[in-house]
Amino acid sequence: MANPQPHVVMLPFPAQGHIKPMLMLAEVLCHAGFRISFVNTDHIHNIIVENIDKSPLSQFPGFRFLSIPDGLPPEHPRDSSSIKDLFTSINSTGKIMFRDLIISLLRRDDLEREEIWHAPCCIIADGIMSTLAIDVEEELEMPVITFRTYSATCTWVYFHLEKLIEQKEIPVREGDEDIDRLVTCITELEKVLRRRDLPSICRCEVDPSILKFFLEQTSKMRRASGLILNTFEDLEAPIIRQLHSIYSKVYTIGPLQALLKSQMDDSPVAGAATGSLRQEDRTCIAWLDKQPAKSVIYVSFGSVVVMSPDQILEFWHGLINSGKPFLWVIRPDLVFGNGPNGLPEEIMCPTNERGYVVSWAPQEEVLAHCAVGGFLTHSGWNSTLESITVGVPMICWPLIVDQKVNSRCVSDIWRVGIDMKDSCDRSTVERMVRVLMEDKDEEIAKSTSKFANLAQKSVREGGSSFCNINKLIEDIRSIQSKKDDCKTK
């Protein structure tokens, strides 16, 4: 009898920037015929469930969502100001719940939607869910492949957190006189990374328990049997080589969005509904259609960043003063302490026709639109990769987690944009928008198109990401068949 298709349990961290790439990987694996049990927290599950029918994943009988409690009461906001609670409860309640779930999946074959679900053969877990997954791996002998949704560079930096503490490079304080000094203890980054560019968890205003959470997750993560990254060889080759010193298997399979597209020209592309936890306002596409080629700067700070009323005003004036048309995503919860109507007045009054504001945009489509010539971004990894893939240069204003590292790579390693970190006064915003939109920097234009080509190439037949995803699929199949062999013995 033929071996059954592998059944993989996937465990994302409960935040949009983590769920989205995990769902994209799930879709690729479903195309290969795998069965996927995708485990969200109940909180995320309840949000996603409304959109399930619109998701391309709903067409796969071998895909299902499962969920576990995150341990927080339903009314808890789970926003960036209270993220610490989520870290703690995931590490305690979440961990117990996940173990129980895996045990129940191992105990009996399930029947769901007339499909038989055999016991899973491995777990693909977010790198920062490692304390949940790795103990299960060791107790229940179920291999864990870790998927770190950050760049290779940032992943590499996280592996040095302990060393950075030992060498007293962190915590970093805004206003430290040596904040611009190079950090020399991270191989390959000695000449680029300043203390200023370290992940936000290294700043002293961030609660130390958050740093502790990442230290613990990262140290557990080392024990996984392989590492998956949403990046591509040509973008981060030297760092990927370094990561091989920790993992014998490193699967760089990005840009995932492009990989998915290239794998299924015949079926609908992973739509906005997949993993988008917000309602997109598509009217901005019609507005873009009316703008000249490469004239518009697209502004979005992602799904979690919050800013002060003063900061948003500086951006507003900087954009207006630059004289360039802009499309700006202002989420109702972008400005802290303010409801949707608490935005500074200037911003609420109907803009001159140069600016267009939406509460959430179909980002991928916007970036690929020919009217868009630049991206003012918070430098989340998802957005960064997306922008690199379609060749749109960036202005980076990073705030949290990996963003400060990404923006440094953008400006000083890949040269596909400029870094504005730690300042946003209106004159800086205006100047940077002009530099970017008036093509004043030839090197940026050249690198941007070079990396866009390399990104596209990596996902085509014979490209590095194309080969790596097939390798991953084969390796999981062989885990499954080893398991089947054991059973028959």
Ligand X SMILES: *[C@@H]1O[C@H](CO)[C@@H](O)[C@H](O)[C@H]1NC(C)=O
| Residue that is written with structure tokens 């084969």 in the block | 474
**Residue 90 CB, nearest distance to ligand X (Å)?**
9
> In terms of CB distance, is 401 or 433 closer to ligand X?
401
Pair of tokens at residue 445? 């234009």
> In terms of CB distance, is 276 or 311 closer to ligand X?
276
**Residue 38 CB, nearest distance to ligand X (Å)?**
16
> In terms of CB distance, is 213 or 251 closer to ligand X?
213
Cα separation, 106 vs 9, in Å, equals 11
* Closest listed residue to residue 165, CA positions, set 219, 127, 128, 129: 219
**Residue 216 CB, nearest distance to ligand X (Å)?**
6
> In terms of CB distance, is 10 or 122 closer to ligand X?
10
* Closest listed residue to residue 275, CA positions, set 52, 4, 35: 52
List residues near ligand X by CB under 6 A.
Answer: 16-17, 20, 87-88, 91, 131, 209, 212-213, 216, 257, 272, 276, 302-303, 363-364, 380, 382, 386
> In terms of CB distance, is 117 or 356 closer to ligand X?
356
> In terms of CB distance, is 30 or 259 closer to ligand X?
259
Cα separation, 92 vs 11, in Å, equals 16
> In terms of CB distance, is 20 or 483 closer to ligand X?
20
Which residues have C-beta within 8 Å of that of residue 121, sequence separation ≥ 6? 6, 7, 8, 142, 143, 476, 479, 480, 483
Which residues have C-beta within 8 Å of that of residue 398, sequence separation ≥ 6? 378, 379, 404, 406, 407, 419, 421
**Residue 96 CB, nearest distance to ligand X (Å)?**
10
Selected catalytic residue, list 7, 18, 160, 378? 18
Cα separation, 455 vs 387, in Å, equals 11
Q: β-strand 110-112 against 115-117: which pairing, if any?
A: antiparallel
Cα separation, 166 vs 217, in Å, equals 18
**Residue 332 CB, nearest distance to ligand X (Å)?**
16
**Residue 362 CB, nearest distance to ligand X (Å)?**
6
| Phi, psi angles (nearest 5°) of residue 104 | -70, -35
Structural contact between residues 35 and 60, judged by C-beta atoms closer than 8 angstroms: no
* Coil vs helix vs strand at 434: helix
**Residue 272 CB, nearest distance to ligand X (Å)?**
6
Cα separation, 198 vs 161, in Å, equals 10
CA distance readout (Å), 193 to 68, 382, 396, 449: 39, 21, 16, 24
Residue 265 catalytic? no
Selected catalytic residue, list 126, 197, 234, 475? 126
> In terms of CB distance, is 171 or 380 closer to ligand X?
380
> In terms of CB distance, is 134 or 436 closer to ligand X?
134
* Closest listed residue to residue 450, CA positions, set 167, 234, 244, 210: 234
Residue 18 catalytic? yes
* Closest listed residue to residue 20, CA positions, set 298, 406, 385, 377: 385
Element containing residue 95 per DSSP (H, E): helix 95-107
Q: Name the amino acid, one letter, at 105.
A: L
Which residues have C-beta within 8 Å of that of residue 345, sequence separation ≥ 6? none
DSSP 330-371: --TTSBTT--TT-S-HHHHSPPPTTEEEESS--HHHHHHSTT
**Residue 119 CB, nearest distance to ligand X (Å)?**
26
**Residue 276 CB, nearest distance to ligand X (Å)?**
5
* Residues with a known catalytic role: 18, 126
